[in-house]
Amino acid sequence: MYANVNDMVSRFGEAEMAQRSDLVAGTTLDAAVIGQALADATAEMDGYLATRYTLPLSPQPTVLNRTCCDIARYLLWGDNPLEMVRERYQNAIRMLEAVAKGHISLGMPTDDTPEPVTGGVTYHAAPRVFVAGAFPSIFR
């Protein structure tokens, strides 16, 4: 995954994460619920990233941490996200679309980057066409 529960708490606060993850009272942070949102966000991101990069990415670009958190937060808000949460999600998706199209680089080799050539020049000769003794006697 591109982010973890601690990243979500650092970015959005423990109170919001408890409210969004505790489906009963909204007071206790439920790491399993947040973890599922992060897993879903990672899967959504991989759909875009796999068009350009070999997954899993190593090392992971730090911009993907923020993107993953924004998507997971949107997922935690369910059917009625705040406008700011929706905008951050839409910006994250636009960024991923731009990465998939090659308009934004993550600063790592892409699948369509040719492999560097190693070594020197190689030469492969065609097989011999003429065989000794295959000519009439006038050529001997």
Mean pLDDT per segment of 10 residues, for the chain of length 140 residues?
A: 97 97 92 98 97 91 96 96 97 97 88 58 60 57
Give the pLDDT of residue 116.
55
Q: Quick one: pLDDT at residue 84?
A: 97
Rounded Cα distance, 58 and 114, in Å: 18
Is the whole-model pTM more than 0.75? yes
Q: What is the model's pLDDT at position 113?
A: 52
pLDDT of residue 138: 59
Question: What pLDDT is stored for residue 37 in this prediction?
Answer: 98
Distance in angstroms (rounded) separating the CA atoms of residues 41 and 37: 6
Show Cβ contacts of residue 80 under 8 Å, excluding neighbours closer than 6 positions. none
pLDDT of residue 38: 98
Judged on CB neighbours under 10 Å (0-12, 13-18, 19+), 8 is buried
